[in-house]
Amino acid sequence: MIASLSLAGCDTRSDPTHSSKPVEDSSTFATDAPRYVETGDLSRLKARGYLRVLRPPHASFEHLPRQGFPDNTEDNLLETLAESHGLRLALVTVARHEDLIPALLEGRGDLIAANFTVTPQRKQRIAFSVPVAVVREQLITRQSDDTLSAPEDLQGRTIVIRRSSSFWETAMALRQRYPGIQVIHAPEHLDTEQILDRVARHEYDLTIADSNLFRAVLTYRSDLKVAFDLTEDRPVAWGIRPDNPDLLEAVNTFLTEAKLTAFRPRISHDDLPGIAKHGVLRVLTRNNPATYFLWRGELLGFEYELARHFAKSHHLQVEMIVPPSRDDLIPWLLEGKGDVIAASMTITPERMAQGVAFSRPYFQASEIVVTRASEPEARLQGPKDLAGRTVVVRRSSSYWQTLTALRNQGIAVTIEAAPEDLETEEIIAKVASGEYDLTVADSHLLDIELTWREDIRAAFPLGDPKPHGWVVRATNPKLLQAINAYFDKEYRGTFYNLTVKKYFKNPRTIRTHVKFRAKRTGQLSPYDDLVQKYARLYGFDWRLIVAQMYQESRFNPKARSWAGAVGLLQVLPRTAKGLGFPTIESIEDGIHAGVKYLNWVRDRFEPELPIKDRMWLALAAYNVGHGHVMDARRLARQLGLNPNRWFGHVERAMRLLSKRKYARHARHGYCRGSEPVKYVRQIKERYEAYVRLTEL
């Protein structure tokens, strides 16, 4: 539930010289919104039952959400945050942007969420959360204006911005360097989009906008453009009263997990050369025992192992992507959210007609009618016996097409659509329980189920075995050619045969995998409870710690490195002592020491860094030392890279520290940079897989 209210009445004066006034007690409140002054911490907010969010004029939760707009992103986060603490969300709007901080300090709201840039001046007055976003301030002009390419071109031009905005400080610094620039303050009740409208209409000359907002604006208008960036990356965060440490900690913990787990599919339609430049093959698949699953912290699956083997042959990393339902696979591929589908997909003309191409077959499976074990064999011996029965399958499956063909031949079978997010194994379970009458399954999927359950059986096949293929966009011929060459070489070869045997021919292995799959148990490691305990204590997502633990020790509590690091998180005894642990012989002390050390390392990096990058930098420092990471950041800046971004920037510089040319100028000298690069990437990939698979 979201309530709304307004502070400071309805002052809409647009005189640029009008000064701000304090928030008045006679503020107007919506009838369903809370009306009180409260400066207490989180416990007081819970007693009141509300989280009051301060917003500038015209802000509302009731607007048309546009993808990418900062307020839409913040709204989603705020609703989840409030719900997680059992609070109702109340939107509190102020009359002028400059009233946001006074209203917060006076207790008229509990938190500022307004695409609010962190500045030194603001930090002197209020506390800030970890970053919600990282932006650059950009000079905005009309699309037809080709006269601006650098700050010196601004002589004689006029920039119009609100005095209360962070842009004002930027513009003042610019005018000091170039006195010919005129800076005029816009009325405080105008938001950035309204100012942009006036620039487009030639009412204002130029303005400044945050990069995240303007990027979203460009999705619906083309009459404006960026002239150039005015700042480096700057954090946007939520403002909190300085004497509310519990609320600040709760917000930081929430944002850290939310940002780390916010996986947005990268959109790309590249063929193999473009994929090679990015270095990652994005594989669309499903989470089931035949394709891709998690077992005791390890990523497994027939399709996963084939995809990883293929990617490795082309020097690519593999990223497994599981869409919400099976009927999303081809649409996601066509939308550019993945490069290839590897999901035991039967080759059919109907699928090829959607604008995709199938690889050569790499597997064959029969479609088998599945019934309960208690059903007499004499009742189901062939397709004609399906008359009068109900078969439940996904509409997007090849089974639906097969059954439709039978019905068209005169067999009076009822075909019922199963939910698209149900896997074949889950539909089989509903047949076993009696909820569904019959279903159809590929023979290899049914074989897996029959190794561990005795309440179902195979009735009969529906025709000959059908070929499976990987799927690519029809516009990606080079990727298709590479996949076909791979299967030409590997099909029925040693690696292929061993992989088939591992997943489909070894009953003992299959039973073990099915029993301990994370989707069934929710368990990632034998130490989940302890990891969750200390991850909560230090504000980490426990799944990230488990991913790091697997990387460090493969869950072996007796692991010991050549350097003397011990335990599940490979902590050096002297490091543990420095953190207050005389010994780390017990599993719990070892886990606690490792998580505490990761927290100590993270705290050595600026809190204004993007949440994800601060985490990747901390992991790199855990592996190779803070000093080497700082050397890599300094080198990244010298090379024109971003020292605040790990992937594609600091990691590139890190690799160079193993070369004498660069190492001799580094404060901490030589570093085998490939090790932390590999360390961070593998933890990230495993962590993302853990998140996807445990949330299915």
Hey, which residues are catalytic here?
552
Phi and psi torsions of 415, nearest 5°: -105, 125
3-state SS string for 162-209:
ECCCHHHHHHHHHHHHCCCCEEEEECCCCCHHHHHHHHHCCCCCEEEE
Q: For residue 647, give every residue at least 6 positions away whose Cβ sits within 8 Å of its Cβ, in sequence order, or none.
A: 616, 681
Whether the CB-CB separation of 269 and 340 falls below 8 Å is answered with no
* Amino acid (one-letter) located at 299: L
| Pair type for strands 367-372 and 439-442 | antiparallel
Question: Dihedral of the CA atoms 534, 540, 542, 544 (nearest 10)?
Answer: -130
Q: Which residues are CB-neighbours of 608 under 8 A, at least 6 positions away?
A: 118, 131, 234, 235, 237
Q: DSSP class of residue 297?
A: T
Within 10 angstroms of residue 180's Cβ, the number of other Cβ atoms is 10
Q: Which helix (H) or strand (E) holds 678?
A: helix 674-694
Token pair 């659509």 is at which residue?
A: 417
And the tokens for 305? 């192992």
- Tokens 């207790």 correspond to what residue? 107
Dihedrals phi, psi of 189, to nearest 5 degrees = -80, -10
Structure tokens at 502: 């591992």
Measured CA to CA in angstroms, residue 446 lies from 403, 510, 521 at distances of 18, 12, 21
In what helix (H) or strand (E) does residue 134 lie, and over which residues does it extend?
A: strand 133-135
Q: Measure CA 234 to chain center.
A: 21
CA distances from 418 to 262, 332, 594 (A): 29, 21, 46
Q: Is the dihedral of CA 203, 204, 206, 208 positive or negative?
A: negative
CA–CA gap between residue 539 and residue 250 (Å, rounded): 9
| Of the candidates 648, 359, 602, the residue with the CA atom closest to the CA atom of residue 480 | 359
365 touches 443 (CB < 8 A): yes
DSSP code, position 253: H
Radius of gyration of the chain (CA): 29
CB burial class (10 A; 0-12, 13-18, 19+) of residue 629? buried
- Tallying the residues shown for the chain, one arrives at 696
Distance CA 246, CA 458 (A): 58
Quickly tell me which residue has 């309960």 as its tokens: 372
